[in-house]
């Protein structure tokens, strides 16, 4: 399995989550870990899974992550398995917002086959730091993504 993990990070928390996800995915194949600013605008046909994450700021994704999605065109991720995540304060999403929901929407717009609902990894503190156990949660989530990405796509009824 060939994966690409793309992340935006301001305080290093999202980078740590992305690194953990990439480390786990490496057990299942090749992985490219790249910041949103340096992420490609197109992907090799051999790319099986694209994971995109970023911090939540002002209720949405940060500018580097948004600019990554602005660089890719509709259909760029057609047929590719994908998932999105964010880092944010531990509060109801309606209060804190969620970059993950915007990331998931943009993945779908690019034609990706979203294989898991977006997930949030939580930070706390004035200079935010990942909460205890979040990297372990990220590793477990990555395992679930690898399993889902390797599963054959369901065939629509009547085909």
Superfamily of domain 2-150: Flavodoxin domain (3.40.50.360)
Q: Domain-by-domain residue ranges, the chain?
A: 2-150
Q: pTM of the predicted model, to two decimals?
A: 0.92
pLDDT of residue 91: 78
Write b or e for each residue in 115-143: b if 16 or more Cβ atoms lie within 10 A of its Cβ, otherwise e.
Answer: bbebbbbbbeeeebebbeebbebbbebbe
Q: For residues 93 and 59, is the Cβ–Cβ distance under 8 A? A: no
Q: Higher model confidence: residue 52 or residue 150?
A: 52
Express each pLDDT in 86-109 by its tens digit: 999 987 777 788 999 999 999 999
**What was the pLDDT predicted at 153?**
62
- Cβ neighbours of 24 (radius 10 Å): 21
pLDDT band at 159 (very low <50, low <70, confident <90, very high): very low
Select the more confidently predicted residue: 127 or 81.
81
Per-residue pLDDT of 1-20, as tens digits, reads: 999 999 999 899 999 999 99
Segments of the chain assigned E as strands: 2-7, 30-35, 49-57, 60-61, 81-89, 113-114, 119-124, 129-130
Task: Establish how many alpha carbons lie within 13 A of residue 137's alpha carbon, considering only the half-sphere containing its beta carbon.
Answer: 13
């Amino acid at each position: 399995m060939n994966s690409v993990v793309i992340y935006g990070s301001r305080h290093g928390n999202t980078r740590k989550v992305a690194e953990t996800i990439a480390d786990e995915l490496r057990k299942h194949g090749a992985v490219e870990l790249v910041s949103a600013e340096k992420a490609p605008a197109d992907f090799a046909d051999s790319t099986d899974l694209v994971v995109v994450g970023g911090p939540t700021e002002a209720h949405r994704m940060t500018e580097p992550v948004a600019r990554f999605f602005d660089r890719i065109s509709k259909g760029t991720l057609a047929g590719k398995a994908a998932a999105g995540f964010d880092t944010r304060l531990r509060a109801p999403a309606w209060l804190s917002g969620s970059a993950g929901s915007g990331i998931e929407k943009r993945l779908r717009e690019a034609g990706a086959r979203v294989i898991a609902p977006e997930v949030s990894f939580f930070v706390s503190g004035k200079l935010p730091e990942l909460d205890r156990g979040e990297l372990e949660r990220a590793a477990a989530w990555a395992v679930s993504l690898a399993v889902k990405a390797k599963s054959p796509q369901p065939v629509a009824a009547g085909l």
